[in-house]
Amino acid sequence: MIDIKLIREKKDLVKENIKKKFQDEKLPLVDEVYELDKRVRDLKQKGDNLRQEKNEISNTIGILFKEKKTDEANAKKERVVTINKELIDIEEEEAKLNEEIKSKMMLIPNIIAADVPIGKDDSENVEIEKFGEPFVPDYEIPYHADICEALGGLDKESAGRTSGNGFYYLVGDIARLHEAVIAYARDFMISKGFTYCIPPFMIRSDVVTGVMSFTEMENMMYKIENEDLYLIGTSEHSMIGKFKGQIIDEKELPIAMTSYSPCFRKEVGAHGIEERGLYRVHQFEKQEMVVLCKPEDAMDWYNKMWSYTVEFFRSMDISVRTLECCSGDLADLKVKSCDVEAWSPRQKKYFEVGSCSTLGDAQARRLGIRMKTEHGNEYLSTLNNTVIASPRAIIAILEQNYQATGEVKIPKVLQPYMGGLEVLKPKQK
């Protein structure tokens, strides 16, 4: 949610930002909020005038009674009663208008960074840099689900019976590899000075609407029936919500945390659920980075955070690239975002394995998270980034380490987490 001062003072900037995000249907919201805000300010002024009049009258009533001017004093008292009634009506109208303003402001996208490329959707995202050489071996690499099944590590048929499409059982060494990657990601981020945390996996609706847009919420979140609780789609939701309504001393900033959680997503939209594979599913596990910092430090943290994900994958010798998200691909709360994509030698293209975002003070405004400074309480900035989302990382590891024999080499940094195992071998049929 943007600062309403932008609508009061820079309406054209807000409208131009909406156009850059190709959301022209939201343009009327700016004028609507402007007019509603003007009415609120007029009411405030009227209320202030009435309160001043009331104070002045109250100061004279006692004097009038002392001077035996009873009729005039009683008339003044009646005026005070009338003013009180008017103030109640004004406060009720203010509250109603402020609620209407808030609901409309929640729909207006955040101001994107000046260097964000302009484009309608993810097809217009811009490659930044490659890390490691994309390669294609001289032998065929099977579909990742087939590799897993050959290794005795995937059972989607049983998951279909228990849970339906979009779920899976990981078994044996593939399950171990999954846990090894998560554990390594945890230790990697701790080595970078991040505090490890396991958050609640369910959050209330006021936290959900504080960390994401309504469209994201509708397309992603599972609601618990008859409860004001939602299953999280990423631990960022809980981790930012942890500070809801808090005032943090600026001396305590930055706060850098890495969090583990299972993630649950409806995946409503154009992409849908992948029936056979593990790329787009309803349930997965993730290691996340979350940072709260001063606004002036946000871009430094943004660049550090995505670079940590690149470093993490390169430590496993996984070839990746970074991709700048264009304006139309940015969620409404984001100021700037980039994806980290791993190379798929089977598909001969890159696929997303992580995403880094800076959200300015949008989440802080929605959740009332401020920092205490010598100038008073101010909103801080929030950022989040994927260290690793399994099973997408598993897909990258399997494809980039698949051998002509059907074996899969385990990256050296993961071998200690696999009991020293160096190679995954196909199961004998």
Q: Determine the pLDDT at residue 177.
A: 97
| Whole-number pLDDT of residue 272 | 62
Q: Which CATH superfamily is domain 4-105 in?
A: Serine-tRNA synthetase, tRNA binding domain (1.10.287.40)
Between the CA atoms of 300, 302, 307 and 309, what dihedral angle is there, to the nearest 10 degrees?
150
Q: Which residues of 362-394 are buried (b: 16+ CB within 10 A; e: fewer)?
A: bbbbbbebbbeeeeeeebbbbbbbbbbbbbbbb
Model pLDDT, residue 161: 95
The pLDDT, as a whole number, for residue 427 is 86
Q: Domain boundaries in the chain?
A: 4-105, 122-424
Contact present, 144 and 278 (Cβ < 8 Å): yes
Q: Residues 252-309: pLDDT tens digits?
A: 999 999 999 999 998 765 566 677 889 989 999 999 999 999 999 999 999 999 999 9
Query: What pLDDT is stored for residue 268 in this prediction?
Result: 65
pLDDT, position 56: 87
Question: Tokens at residue 33, please?
Answer: 């909020």
Q: Spell out the CATH class of 122-424.
A: alpha beta
Regions in the chain scoring below 50 on pLDDT: none
> What local confidence, expressed as pLDDT, does residue 65 receive?
79
Equal fold, 4-105 vs 122-424: no
